[in-house]
Amino acid sequence: MNWFKYSSPASFYPVAGKVYPWFFAAAMILFVVALYVGFAVAPTDAQQGESYRIMFVHVATATLSMFLYVVMALWCASSLVFNTRLSAMMAQAIAPTGAWFTFIALWTGALWGKPTWGTYWVWDARITSELILLFLYGGFLALTQAIEDPRRADRAGALLALVGVINVPIIYFSVRWWNTLHQGASITVSAAPKIAQPMLVALFAMMLAFWAYAIAAALRRVRCIIVERESGSDWLRALKRQGTL
Amino acid sequence: MSGARGEPSDARGERAGARAERASAARAEPVSALGAIGWACRRDLLLTAHGKSELALVFVFFVLVTSLFPLGVGPEPALLRAIAPGIVWVCALLSALLSFGRLFGSDHADGTLEQMIVSGAPLAALVAGKMVAHVLVIGVPLAMLTPLIALQFGLSAGAMIVAVAALLLGTPILVGLGAIGAALTLGVRGGAALLALLVLPLAIPVLIFGAGAVDAAEAGMSAGAHLSLLGAGLIAAAIGCPFAAAAALRIALD
């Protein structure tokens, strides 16, 4: 199977259209499951009471916010290396979703911080790096929107994302550099999880839900970008005639 | 293309002369990277020395903004001493940010930048030369002004020396990041605000380690760790930033 076949907007557009509703449906189902397990099944935390339940949304969005930036940077690298238009479009389709996840992670973190630490905001390393990540997304979005020529916008944004991704490891390792109020990670690969089984189930279901949502949103958005960029091309006109745009 | 609008005539003559020199050299033989760095650096220094530059405004801005903080937070010496390292660094960062537009702005306006790209000399080396000149013109004077501000805020002599050292190590990194941002936003509407949005988040590690070094020195501890990290950042920036900025220039002028 030749994967590069789908690097052309014309062949990717219908595939994305077929696939994204499935991811969206999966996201909805997993989201409902995660909410049910997280709020009805999972036990109350011994120290934090009920307020810990915001973790299910907070941890999942925070993880994805960083992961999506790396994915975006990979698409950017691919767009610069292979000079494929679709890669740059994918990067721009992912950026708003990543920015939203970053914002939600900060917001839920503030709401979680109030009952747990007694304050909405602390200048802790991880919170601060998440805020920096929001600015990085903002810079990428602002730069790509400010440049009129799509080709220059794609390439300039790609370069910026690659420069910015150097900061993502700094964000990740910042916990070790400036260890402050924020609690250490509770789930590690090596040690056994320190949280109860239903909590883990809810957390992973929520993560999968957001994963599926991110994929669905990116595919939906990339279809809009393709239509915008390729308007006037023959294949789009043909699709329009068939009524399958 | 003729000289930039409103530029002093001697600078324009310098520019045209430099361009002609450049063109003949390109025909003759390939330019070495070191030669290109030296040429670009000397040219920018000459242009700064000849032109009526607005550079002084950057330094006035630096001193002015640092003087606003005591007026804003009150003249309590202990408080001022505590916040001084951060203020020096934030203000140096913002002052440097003000100057980044100059890096490529006038060369873009009068077409010199296109000539540099087609000249056959390694573009990353030319950009590196411009960065070195910018560090000499902006970064070093900012560092030299720091003792004045340290005195105003009551910092100890040790912290003052560390602040100068940290700025000498840190401002080249800022200039490197600023060059990437300036190249990316070349000719883009809302360029100045956009430049701030692009550069400031990337400059945060420099700010943290720079202010951390002064903090440590003020607390009587060794600033070695922070200065070492700044030095490491400087090496990484010196290697990476010219190439990234050159790539960004090619994208902007494609």
Beta bridge partners of residue A49, listed in sequence order: A45
Average of per-residue pLDDT across A3-18? 83
User: Is A44 contained in some domain?
Assistant: yes
Burial class, A188, CB count within 10 angstroms (exposed 0-12 / middle 13-18 / buried 19+):
exposed
User: Is A234 contained in some domain?
Assistant: no
The residue with greater pLDDT, A186 or B134, is B134
Beta bridge partners of residue B179, listed in sequence order: none
Whole-angstrom Cα distance, residue B135 to residue A160? 22
Whole-angstrom Cα distance, residue B90 to residue B86? 6
Q: Kindly determine whether residue B254 and residue A163, on different chains, have CB atoms separated by under 8 Å.
A: no
Q: Which of A145-149, B1-5, B118-122 has the lowest mean pLDDT?
A: B1-5
φ, ψ (nearest 5 deg) of residue B21: -60, -45
Average of per-residue pLDDT across A11-38? 91
Q: For residue B251, what are the CA distances in angstroms to A76, A154, A156, A162, A198?
A: 14, 10, 6, 14, 51
Q: Kindly determine whether residue A159 and residue B184, on different chains, have CB atoms separated by under 8 Å.
A: yes
The pLDDT value given to residue B170:
94
User: Is A120 contained in some domain?
Assistant: yes
Average of per-residue pLDDT across B200-216? 87
Q: Does residue B4 carry a pLDDT above 60?
A: no
The pLDDT value given to residue A180:
43
Window A:148-177, CB contacts with B under 8 Å:
151-152, 155-156, 159-160, 163-164, 167, 170
The pLDDT value given to residue A48:
73
Confidence of residue A127 (pLDDT cuts 50, 70, 90): confident
User: Is A10 contained in some domain?
Assistant: no
Whole-angstrom Cα distance, residue A76 to residue A140? 11
Average of per-residue pLDDT across B158-180? 94
The residue with greater pLDDT, A46 or A133, is A133
Average of per-residue pLDDT across B44-62? 85
User: Is A8 contained in some domain?
Assistant: no
Q: Kindly determine whether residue B248 and residue A164, on different chains, have CB atoms separated by under 8 Å.
A: no
Average pLDDT over chain B, rounded to whole?
86
The end-to-end CA distance of chain A, in Å, is: 26
Average of per-residue pLDDT across B46-60? 83
Those residues with Cβ within 8 angstroms of residue A83's Cβ, 6 or more apart along the chain or in another chain: none
Average of per-residue pLDDT across B241-253? 93
Token pair listed for B97 = 């940010």
Of A138, A163, A170, the CB nearest to B180: A163
The end-to-end CA distance of chain B, in Å, is: 18
The pLDDT value given to residue B24:
54
Q: Kindly determine whether residue B184 and residue A160, on different chains, have CB atoms separated by under 8 Å.
A: yes
B198 interface with A at CB cutoff 8 Å: yes
Q: Kindly determine whether residue A139 and residue B201, on different chains, have CB atoms separated by under 8 Å.
A: yes
- pLDDT per residue as tens digits for the range A103-118: 999 999 898 888 887 8
Q: Which residue has the tokens 């390109």?
A: B26
- SS3 call for B96: helix
Q: Does residue B62 carry a pLDDT above 80?
A: yes
Q: For residue A219, what are the CA distances in angstroms to A10, A65, A226?
A: 14, 17, 10
Q: Which domain holds residue A54?
A: 20-178+192-220
Confidence of residue B27 (pLDDT cuts 50, 70, 90): low
| Cβ–Cβ < 8 Å for B79, B197 | no
Number of domains in chain A: 1
ipTM attached to this prediction: 0.81
Q: Does residue B92 carry a pLDDT above 80?
A: yes
The pLDDT value given to residue B15:
57
Confidence of residue A171 (pLDDT cuts 50, 70, 90): low
Q: Kindly determine whether residue A138 and residue B197, on different chains, have CB atoms separated by under 8 Å.
A: yes
Average of per-residue pLDDT across A191-199? 67
**Chain B: residue whose CA lies nearest to A154:** B251
Q: Kindly determine whether residue A155 and residue B251, on different chains, have CB atoms separated by under 8 Å.
A: yes
- SS3 call for B213: helix
Closest CA of chain B from A89, distance in Å: 17
Average pLDDT over chain A, rounded to whole?
84
User: Is A6 contained in some domain?
Assistant: no
Residue in B196, B177, B190, B194 with CA at minimum distance from that of residue B248: B177
Q: Inter-axis angle of helices A197-230 and A234-242, to 10 degrees?
A: 110
Window B:138-177, CB contacts with A under 8 Å:
none
Closest CA of chain A from B188, distance in Å: 6
Average of per-residue pLDDT across A183-193? 48
Q: Kindly determine whether residue B198 and residue A151, on different chains, have CB atoms separated by under 8 Å.
A: no
Of A143, A152, A167, the CB nearest to B194: A143
In chain B, residues with a C-beta closer than 8 Å to the C-beta of A155 are: 251, 254
Torsion region of A183: left, alpha or beta (phi above 0 gives left; psi -120 to 50 gives alpha): beta
Token pair listed for A31 = 């989201």
Angle at A36 between CA A33 and CA A39, to 5 degrees: 140
Radius of gyration (Cα) for chain B, nearest Å?
19
Cβ atoms within 10 Å, residue A25: 12
| Cβ–Cβ < 8 Å for B69, B160 | no
User: What stretches of B100-254 show up as alpha helix (H) in DSSP?
Assistant: 101-109, 112-118, 123-134, 140-152, 157-184, 191-218, 224-252
Confidence of residue A14 (pLDDT cuts 50, 70, 90): confident
Q: Kindly determine whether residue B185 and residue A146, on different chains, have CB atoms separated by under 8 Å.
A: yes
Q: Does residue B113 carry a pLDDT above 60?
A: yes
Average of per-residue pLDDT across A25-48? 86
The pLDDT value given to residue B238:
93
Closest CA of chain A from B33, distance in Å: 23
Q: For residue B219, what are the CA distances in angstroms to A125, B143, B162, B166?
A: 21, 21, 12, 16
In chain B, residues with a C-beta closer than 8 Å to the C-beta of A160 are: 180, 184, 198
Our CA dihedral for B163, B169, B171, B177, rounded to 10 degrees, sits at -140
Window A:96-135, CB contacts with B under 8 Å:
132, 135
Confidence of residue B149 (pLDDT cuts 50, 70, 90): very high
User: Is A226 contained in some domain?
Assistant: no
Cβ atoms within 10 Å, residue B42: 14
Q: Kindly determine whether residue B248 and residue A156, on different chains, have CB atoms separated by under 8 Å.
A: yes
Q: Does residue A177 carry a pLDDT above 80?
A: no
User: Is A67 contained in some domain?
Assistant: yes
Percent of chain B with pLDDT over 70: 88
Q: Which stretches does DSSP call E strand in chain A? A: none
Q: Which residue has the tokens 């950017």?
A: A76
Question: Which of A134, A160, A172 is most worth mutating to test chain B (most B CB atoms within 10 A of its CB)?
Answer: A160
Amino acid occupying residue A93: A
**Chain A: residue whose CA lies nearest to B226:** A177
Confidence of residue B31 (pLDDT cuts 50, 70, 90): confident
Q: Does residue B20 carry a pLDDT above 80?
A: no
The residue with greater pLDDT, A94 or B11, is A94
Whole-angstrom Cα distance, residue A178 to residue A122? 13
Q: Kindly determine whether residue A155 and residue B254, on different chains, have CB atoms separated by under 8 Å.
A: yes
Average of per-residue pLDDT across A90-110? 94
Of B201, B247, B252, the CB nearest to A152: B252
The residue with greater pLDDT, B189 or B131, is B131
Chain A, chain B: beta-carbon pairs less than 8 Å apart: 54
Q: Does residue B187 carry a pLDDT above 90?
A: no
Q: Does residue B189 carry a pLDDT above 70?
A: yes
Whole-angstrom Cα distance, residue A94 to residue A73? 10
Of B194, B204, B247, the CB nearest to A142: B194
